[in-house]
């Protein structure tokens, strides 16, 4: 059955997206439900192609040389039924000096047994800029397993920024696996903000290689786990060129019976490169907590506010 405009709008609604984005001819979007492309719009300088697979969609996104995509590109992926699998294989090519910001909305509002697999290959050419903000809406039951995986190369002077955020619902399982390589004067920033409850499992495995002179990179993980949730964060940053600079930052708040581990690995292979790291795992800072208690918040309210702040 051919998807209707109503299906597209429904997925947009679940993602809490402004419908104006769907009707704006100057804003590009692609809406994919399971293995069906429900709707798309593109703009000059941006080419998007999508081919259905048996269990998902294979897509390519290319921004042409020197093209600046003025408005964020909305990619909406979803599985509305309680069960299902969605595999997205995506190839992104940012040509020289191209610029684009992607807002990816991953929507699984009723999931009881849903798998969402993302396999990305991203190439950012010289001087190009690519940001990818992935925002998830999950079911309250946490019946989602999410496996975002990407291999990214950033050429000289290029920029890659990615941010992962769970907006609504329970995590279920999130298993992020990203590897980024930065050439001379290239910049990368990877941020993950996730709060787990129940028996959620959060695994983040991010690796950055600063291989070019003056390349810069930051890996940031802000995680809160409660109840019986588990978080395992592995951040690895290597620097092997002069004046390469990097920072790894992992903050995890642990409540109840939850467990968290952080394994920051920093590796420097050049005497003029420099990488720093900080990791803090534990319960809520007592001074923060007491400050809010002294303003009349209950302990639960205070912890919630501190976690909200941490997760941005």
Partner 1 sequence: MSILKVKDLKLDLSGKPILDGLTMDFSENRIHAVVGPNGAGKSTLAQTIMGLSGYREISGDILFEGESIRELDTDERARRGITLAWQEPARFEGLRIRDFIGASIRGKKGRVDLIADSLRKVGMEPSIYLDRAVDKTLSGGERKKIELASILAMKPKVAILDEPDSGIDIDSLEHIFEAVKLLKKEGATVLLITHSMAVLGHAEHAFLICCGKLQDKGDVKSIGNYFGKRCLPCDHKNEPDVNGGGL
Q: What is the nearest approach in angstroms of partner 1 to the Cβ of residue 259?
A: 21
Is residue 167 a contact point for partner 1 (CB under 8 A)? no
Q: How far is the CB of 299 from partner 1 (least distance, A)?
A: 7
For the bound state, the minimum distance from the C-beta of residue 126 to partner 1, rounded and expressed in Å, comes to 33
Toward partner 1, which CB reaches closer, 241 or 303?
303
- Find the binding residues for partner 1 in span 273-312 (CB under 8 A): 285-288, 290-299, 301-302, 305-306, 308-312
Least Cβ distance, residue 309 to partner 1 (angstroms): 3
Structure tokens at 230: 């588990």
In the region spanning residues 46 to 85, those forming contacts with partner 1, defined by CB under 8 A, are none
Instruction: Collect all residues with Cβ–Cβ distance below 8 Å to 255 and sequence separation of at least 6.
Output: 224, 225, 226, 227, 283, 284, 303
Tokens of 216: 């810069």
**Total residues at interface with partner 1 (CB under 8 A):** 25
User: Is the CB of 133 or the CB of 270 nearer to partner 1?
Assistant: 133
- CA-CA-CA-CA torsion sign (178, 138, 132, 50): positive
Q: Could you tell me if 247 and 273 are in contact, meaning their C-beta atoms sit under 8 angstroms apart?
A: no
Look at residue 187 and give its three-state secondary structure. strand
Q: Binding pattern to partner 1, positions 169-208, x when CB under 8 A?
A: ----------------------------------------
CA distance linking residue 219 with residue 208, whole number of Å: 8
* Chain residues 220-249 in contact with partner 1, contact rule CB under 8 A: 222
Among the listed residues 123, 184, 234, 251, the single contact to partner 1 using CB under 8 A: 251
| CB of 95 or CB of 252, closer to partner 1 | 252
Q: 12-34: string of b/e by CB count within 10 Å (b at 16+)? A: bebbebeeebbeeeebbbbbbbb
Q: Which residues of 276-302 are buried (b: 16+ CB within 10 A; e: fewer)?
A: ebebebeebeeeebeebeeeebeeeeb
Residue position matching structure tokens 């995890």: 252
Nearest distance in Å: CB 291, partner 1: 5
For residues 20 and 300, which CB has a smaller minimum distance to partner 1 in the complex? 300
- In whole angstroms, how close is the CB of 307 to partner 1 at the nearest point? 9
Give the span between the Cα atoms of 265 and 181, in whole angstroms. 16
User: CB-wise, 83 or 308, nearer to partner 1?
Assistant: 308
Q: Which is nearer to partner 1, 51 or 291 (CB)?
A: 291
Q: Which is nearer to partner 1, 113 or 165 (CB)?
A: 165
Name the nearest CA neighbour of 252 among 281, 210, 279: 281
Residues making up the chain, counted from first to last: 312
Q: Which is nearer to partner 1, 229 or 307 (CB)?
A: 307
Positions in the binding site for partner 1 (CB under 8 A)? 222, 251, 285-288, 290-299, 301-302, 305-306, 308-312
């Amino acid at each position: 059955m051919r998807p209707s405009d109503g299906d597209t709008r429904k997925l947009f609604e679940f993602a809490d997206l402004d419908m104006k984005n769907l009707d704006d001819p100057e804003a590009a979007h692609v809406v994919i439900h399971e293995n069906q492309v429900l709707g798309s719009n593109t703009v000059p300088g941006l080419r998007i192609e999508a081919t259905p697979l048996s269990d998902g969609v294979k897509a390519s996104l290319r921004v042409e040389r020197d093209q600046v995509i003025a408005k964020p590109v909305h990619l909406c992926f979803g599985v509305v039924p309680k069960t299902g699998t969605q595999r997205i294989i995506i190839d992104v090519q940012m040509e020289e000096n191209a610029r684009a910001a992607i807002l990816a909305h991953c929507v699984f509002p009723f999931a009881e047994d849903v798998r969402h697999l993302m396999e990305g290959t991203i190439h950012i050419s010289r001087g190009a800029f690519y940001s990818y903000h992935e925002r998830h809406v999950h079911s309250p039951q946490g019946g989602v397993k999410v496996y975002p995986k990407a291999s990214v190369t950033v050429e000289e002077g290029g920029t890659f920024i990615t941010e992962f955020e769970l907006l609504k619902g329970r995590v279920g399982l999130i298993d992020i696996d990203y590897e980024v390589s930065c050439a001379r004067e290239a910049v990368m920033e990877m941020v993950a903000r996730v709060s787990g409850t129940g028996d959620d499992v959060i695994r983040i495995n991010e690796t950055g290689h600063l291989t070019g002179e003056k390349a810069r990179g930051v890996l940031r993980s802000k995680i809160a786990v409660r109840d019986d949730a588990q978080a395992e964060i592995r951040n690895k940053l290597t620097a092997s060129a002069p004046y390469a600079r990097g920072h790894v930052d992992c903050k995890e708040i642990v409540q109840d019976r939850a467990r968290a581990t952080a394994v920051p690995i920093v590796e420097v292979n050049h005497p003029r490169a420099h990488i720093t790291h900080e990791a803090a795992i534990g319960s809520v800072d007592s001074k923060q907590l007491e400050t809010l208690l002294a303003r009349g918040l209950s302990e639960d309210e205070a912890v919630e506010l501190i976690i909200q702040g941490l997760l941005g």
